[in-house]
Structure 1
């Protein structure tokens, strides 16, 4: 087995003990397949052997007996969901389904070993921790029911006992490590970076406990109010010089095979769209777009100046750290000086996008020519020092993992502890359907539902006392998905948008616009109190104040 990684090797427990032991050690095999688990366990427990005892089991009783004798990996035949559920409930340790490969192998190691269709197949089968992905068709952006049953936050299991159970206090059934972390969090001690990674590896009942804890912290931080904003996304161009492999919106020299026609709005058209939004009650114009090869920093300044000349009362939320970095570079001035010019022109705040995932070992595969984690953080800290406020985002569920998610939250938390400049945290589940990296076979199909729950809930826990607002994206998850996350630590549903294009370009089927009435009805249906807000979370009058207005 020379040249083959040990995690791809299974040794059969056949023949002489010495020969089996020699094969285990020299191959570095991850599995020893045996129908004699007690005997096999004496081999895997030896120094220098790092293998699991893998044993076939025909029913629950046999599986429990095998585990008692030392098996740590069970091979099922035609077991149905009910049998698996009974085994899960009978075991004293978590039951995790794997693929042909171990679930503990780091994604970087898999990428180095697998190629072509094997790599693509692996990505289609696994979740973020490398375990088997739940067998359902749900993914962010798809117009279909959430896979978790009513009364549950986790969709880990499909047996009747799981789907119908009513759990009043999920934290009591959590595993010991998760229970300890959550207990400390409820006492006002947020998790460390490593504990955040532990929470992101949660499954089943632990997911329920994490969501429950996040919801308790949400109540303490913001009460029962759920906020939204009347705004308009203005995507002024879809032409971009960058090679972000996840982006289905960009149309440029390297992506001419993607659907859609390249466009660039005039400044006059952008001002007109902002004016239309203002007349419909919007308080915010959110400016987003590609990095057009013809853009310099003067373009962004002109956009802001022209909008504010016509609409002095509107808040302009625009220009990610990437645009700021690029704008400063094209004008040959510092980031600080360019941000001062944007501030003087009338820019109100910065979106936290272009962050994607703040872990450079992932960024090199996802967005190789984009600004680095340190550069993104530098722009944000300078902006905050100059008085700007900004959002923080994460895009997850592509070629990342719990370590990357924990690193991302720690970067955001570090900045917030220094500056206090983030107003909200906005998780953005990866929408895979039209994304080039997925179509080329190099990414997962977005996060699982449980991973969506975890990202929002763990963020609430990690940012407790630092960032009071966690947003659920109805554009990515639909109204039902966003509403369900109000029970997992979220307190904001984002904006009305009036024509969002980026997520739709990635293949999402959810709407491009919400009305104030729809937002308020949705929030009330969840038993919460709706409140219209500004970009900076100042509360505003609700529905009756939006009958129409003009400057």
Structure 2
């Protein structure tokens, strides 16, 4: 048996197999033949002719003798066989068997049949399957061999035998006939059942069997049912797509699956493209990004140049800094090593880390790093300074790395190397981007296999946040400049296939600049993302393809029936699990730039500052019903809410997550419901806030009022005001037309339940007719506990003392997962609801609030609203619902990088709209906080279901302590002007929505200037909240007598 060099064997299989695969196949087939020969009882000696050390090792493994090819006199296959036969026959005139090594179906019975035939013949000629070639030649001991292997060898061997007068037996057997030379031979082999053990194992373990086995016929209905049920297809189902050409059916199904995961939203990331270096050790045949040192003015972009570019990008609304660079250029170019050394770095990746760190710290842009193949240590170092990373797989086909193919000479493009980097990134918890490049010589089956390779890695680690389908573009000056580009149908087929392979959840992306003019068709095929788009920098990888203008991209997206929204470089699902996917130092920067669902804050609006309505939201709020095409699900949920039905948590969450046309529909439905329930009036009350202390021993992470910076214009120094000051403020408020004082404060360590009773007594003494709206459920709970009273009994005492209603503050978010972080030592959700229910049962009505926009999610909002709704259905005690957007500026958890910047404008408007829908028929009044929302925000909320502006707030210190520019007072005339500008009818009200006294209304419109509030510094003990009293002995049956102040 003659064996060529294993690495050079089977060259005709090169279109299908790599050199390594071909060598592995030959070794496995030869191993099967040798195993059979050396174990056959009729075979005495086995000789292998070869100079290949690998063939020598294989022969020795089976006890065969090696004849060195270089020791034989003649060359070529026939010459080598002749020389070896002559050498062997000189010592032994035994029968001789010559056969090929690539007979994976050869069995012991085949060899026995040959030897049995030789017993009655001079020569046995084993034919190949086609009857053209000779795969085996058996010669009796007296026959002098003459070899004619090569094209047509079967007939040539027969002619030789005839001319020599030899008795011949032509033999055709499957085990002898199938040799593996052509791709069709390999296909035939894979269709066989009885393959040699080693050959079968190699075909299976190498993946060749799975790759080249005939794909089963696609059961389209089964695939349809699989993917629409939320599952991903089996690999065999996916591979069957390679031969499926019904493009309209694929596109339709892919679009349906995409809508299950992403609804009406298509996203993009606004980025700055940073080509940190264009040197690369690889030589991809289609690339113009990589350059040689002689063509570059600078080897690396200086850090100051990068920072200036990023500052410009930040000014234009960019939130991503995309670092793209050649792979490890220092391993190839001396110029790269010298440039790095001059800057103080030994590797390119060290420099990448430094620049990314500076960009993050000095511009706020979130780095996304495409640095190529990396080790686990390199990935860990870059994770500290990036929100995400990526590497394009391009193709899992090793064939594309062979000579003459696009990745030949590029060590970093070997699929196994790239897949290893992806796997390491998954182990490190890095949100990762990958994808495939189509049109570079791969087959459709190889595309599917590449997608499946990505899917397998994602199934192990869960870190692939997007898969890019990028179409090859031919570029001048490259080896592939004349290669054909994939057409639109091919691109659409691949996008649809990717969506079907990955299902509804994976983000499938296609770059918009590579397919101008057909973007709606890409959307229809199943994408949900356009990738990074820059208003500032070009696509340095495809410089011939400019980015579309963002307004044009929004229009083309809308033409496909979708809404274009902005995301960050890290996707929403990964932000929602930030502890797993972000390094500690990245948490704060990401939180600053995201909304509650994990999408980008696409504008600069924040609660507490007077800013105009953001452009995108303003446009959506202007939409008329005829312009809106909401999704079927949202339309159905809204209809049920308007009908007064209780919604599920998931349904309310859906309402909070609406964007685009769905957002417009929810807002308009809420406004229509408001008009039906309460008409066109917008109410407000004249009141004064009195915050009697900012000393508090609780550790609420959002509170700047009691734990903020001690800055002169915000919190100031700790204070604890006296009873006299409380009385003075109440009298001043009454004289300025107020009908209510709203009183709350920190939980002073010396305060007891008696303190709150004293405060009521003081207010009643100073202003007998003032409505006292006071004490959060936390204060009630703490007060009851200090007096060892049940909550209900303490509430009765408060009511008997003169308390009229309770503010529904301290609710924050009624979900204990959030409260465990936000206010771990405060009331839990059940306790807050318990206090509210007890208050309603003893006849004290209250407001209900939500403080949102910090660490919670829309699902938590849904839980909160439904908990309030459930209690209201039982008691009817809530007078209004008050959304309180989180004001971030001085909040401790924001300053520590652990919270968002409050809700976005969209979220703030939705909170009012969704509340109106959820509380339909139960809570009529939805209040918008002018302190938090500002004038523009108030106007928008009045068109989104709100009907109340709350109080004029002669003083408000809690929101101002958090950094708000509002809070001092909106006088009645300002209130009414604001309401009229909104096209509504103003009405002054009392706390319980009744008509106020005429004299108080007159005072309110003619109020003098507000005097300075005196906040006495806090001492070691609490300051008395009573006006001076005389204590009476206990036997008189009285605890205290209150002396009326002279000014009363």
TM-score, structure 2 length as denominator?
Answer: 0.49
Local SS of the residue matching 2:762: helix
Select which of 1, 6, 13 maps to 2:436. 13
Map of 2:809 onto structure 1: 353
| Aligned residue pairs, count | 536
Map of 1:261 onto structure 2: 717
Local SS of the residue matching 1:30: strand
Task: Please state if 1:42 is matched with 2:42.
Answer: no
What per-residue deviation string (whole Å, max 9, x for no partner) do you get for residues 421-451 of structure 1? 0000000111111111111111111111111
**Inter-partner Cα distance in structure 2 for 1:112 and 1:76:** 24
Choose 458-467 or 476-485, whichever is displaced more: 476-485
**Inter-partner Cα distance in structure 2 for 1:223 and 1:463:** 16
Select which of 463, 486, 489 maps to 2:919. 463
Contact 2:850/2:882, CA 8 A, preserved across alignment: yes
Instruction: Specify whether residues 49 and 267 from structure 1 end up closer, same or farther in structure 2 by C-alpha distance, changes over 3 A only.
Output: closer
> What are the residue-to-residue correspondences of 1:459-498 with 2, within 5 Å?
459-498=915-954
> What are the residue-to-residue correspondences of 1:55-454 with 2, within 5 Å?
55-58=510-513, 61-78=517-534, 79-105=548-574, 107=576, 109-134=577-602, 136-148=603-615, 154-155=617-618, 162=619, 167-169=623-625, 172-189=628-645, 191-251=647-707, 260-454=716-910
**Inter-partner Cα distance in structure 2 for 1:7 and 1:196:** 31
Instruction: Specify whether residues 68 and 518 from structure 1 end up closer, same or farther in structure 2 by C-alpha distance, changes over 3 A only.
Output: closer
The Cα of 1:497 is off from its aligned counterpart by 1.0
What per-residue deviation string (whole Å, max 9, x for no partner) do you get for residues 102-141 of structure 1? 234462x22333232311122122111111221x221111
The Cα of 1:545 is off from its aligned counterpart by 5.8
Local SS of the residue matching 1:245: coil
What per-residue deviation string (whole Å, max 9, x for no partner) do you get for residues 474-502 of structure 1? 11111232133111111111111111111
Select which of 465, 474, 478 maps to 1:30. 465
Instruction: Specify whether residues 170 and 367 from structure 1 end up closer, same or farther in structure 2 by C-alpha distance, changes over 3 A only.
Output: farther
**Inter-partner Cα distance in structure 1 for 2:599 and 2:509:** 16
> Which consecutive residues of structure 2, in runs of 5 or more, have no partner in the other structure?
1-422, 472-490, 535-547, 1009-1046
The Cα of 1:53 is off from its aligned counterpart by 2.5
Choose 174-183 or 496-505, whichever is displaced more: 174-183
Task: Please state if 1:510 is matched with 2:977.
Answer: no
**Inter-partner Cα distance in structure 2 for 1:205 and 1:492:** 26
**Inter-partner Cα distance in structure 1 for 2:958 and 2:729:** 17
What per-residue deviation string (whole Å, max 9, x for no partner) do you get for residues 259-287 of structure 1? 52111001221121111111111111111
Local SS of the residue matching 2:564: coil
What per-residue deviation string (whole Å, max 9, x for no partner) do you get for residues 50-72 of structure 1? 63322212165243333344433
Instruction: Specify whether residues 166 and 144 from structure 1 end up closer, same or farther in structure 2 by C-alpha distance, changes over 3 A only.
Output: closer
Task: Please state if 1:544 is matched with 2:1002.
Answer: yes
**Inter-partner Cα distance in structure 2 for 1:145 and 1:426:** 22
Instruction: Specify whether residues 66 and 171 from structure 1 end up closer, same or farther in structure 2 by C-alpha distance, changes over 3 A only.
Output: closer
Choose 57-66 or 518-527, whichever is displaced more: 57-66
Instruction: Specify whether residues 171 and 290 from structure 1 end up closer, same or farther in structure 2 by C-alpha distance, changes over 3 A only.
Output: farther
**Inter-partner Cα distance in structure 1 for 2:624 and 2:685:** 33
Instruction: Specify whether residues 20 and 89 from structure 1 end up closer, same or farther in structure 2 by C-alpha distance, changes over 3 A only.
Output: closer
Local SS of the residue matching 1:427: strand
Choose 406-415 or 474-483, whichever is displaced more: 474-483
**Inter-partner Cα distance in structure 2 for 1:128 and 1:421:** 30
The Cα of 1:302 is off from its aligned counterpart by 0.6
Instruction: Specify whether residues 501 and 195 from structure 1 end up closer, same or farther in structure 2 by C-alpha distance, changes over 3 A only.
Output: same
Choose 68-77 or 123-132, whichever is displaced more: 68-77
Contact 1:352/1:393, CA 8 A, preserved across alignment: yes
Select which of 520, 523, 526 maps to 2:976. 520
Choose 518-527 or 192-201, whichever is displaced more: 518-527
**Inter-partner Cα distance in structure 2 for 1:142 and 1:201:** 24
**Inter-partner Cα distance in structure 2 for 1:189 and 1:171:** 27
**Inter-partner Cα distance in structure 2 for 1:486 and 1:496:** 17
Contact 1:171/1:179, CA 8 A, preserved across alignment: no
The Cα of 1:515 is off from its aligned counterpart by 1.4
Instruction: Specify whether residues 5 and 344 from structure 1 end up closer, same or farther in structure 2 by C-alpha distance, changes over 3 A only.
Output: farther
Contact 1:301/1:342, CA 8 A, preserved across alignment: yes
Instruction: Specify whether residues 7 and 93 from structure 1 end up closer, same or farther in structure 2 by C-alpha distance, changes over 3 A only.
Output: farther
**Inter-partner Cα distance in structure 2 for 1:50 and 1:478:** 38
What per-residue deviation string (whole Å, max 9, x for no partner) do you get for residues 189-223 of structure 1? 45433221111001122222111111111111111
The Cα of 1:93 is off from its aligned counterpart by 3.8
**Inter-partner Cα distance in structure 2 for 1:142 and 1:473:** 12
What per-residue deviation string (whole Å, max 9, x for no partner) do you get for residues 382-410 of structure 1? 11011000000011111111101101101
Instruction: Specify whether residues 208 and 71 from structure 1 end up closer, same or farther in structure 2 by C-alpha distance, changes over 3 A only.
Output: closer
Contact 1:11/1:33, CA 8 A, preserved across alignment: yes
Instruction: Specify whether residues 60 and 291 from structure 1 end up closer, same or farther in structure 2 by C-alpha distance, changes over 3 A only.
Output: farther
Instruction: Point out 4+ residue stretches in structure 1 off by more than 6 angstroms.
Output: 255-258, 548-551
The Cα of 1:459 is off from its aligned counterpart by 0.5
Instruction: Specify whether residues 186 and 331 from structure 1 end up closer, same or farther in structure 2 by C-alpha distance, changes over 3 A only.
Output: closer
**Inter-partner Cα distance in structure 1 for 2:675 and 2:594:** 34
Local SS of the residue matching 2:934: helix
Two-structure CA RMSD over aligned residues (Å): 2.6
Instruction: Specify whether residues 541 and 213 from structure 1 end up closer, same or farther in structure 2 by C-alpha distance, changes over 3 A only.
Output: farther
Choose 336-345 or 57-66, whichever is displaced more: 57-66
What per-residue deviation string (whole Å, max 9, x for no partner) do you get for residues 270-309 of structure 1? 1211111111111111111100111111111110112112
Local SS of the residue matching 2:572: coil
The Cα of 1:170 is off from its aligned counterpart by 5.9
> Which consecutive residues of structure 1, in runs of 5 or more, have no partner in the other structure?
156-161
Contact 1:352/1:392, CA 8 A, preserved across alignment: yes
Contact 1:25/1:48, CA 8 A, preserved across alignment: no
TM-score, structure 1 length as denominator?
Answer: 0.91
Instruction: Specify whether residues 60 and 535 from structure 1 end up closer, same or farther in structure 2 by C-alpha distance, changes over 3 A only.
Output: farther
Contact 1:30/1:50, CA 8 A, preserved across alignment: no
The Cα of 1:503 is off from its aligned counterpart by 0.6
Map of 2:351 onto structure 1: none
Higher RCO (CA < 8 A, seq sep 6+): 1
**Inter-partner Cα distance in structure 1 for 2:435 and 2:509:** 9
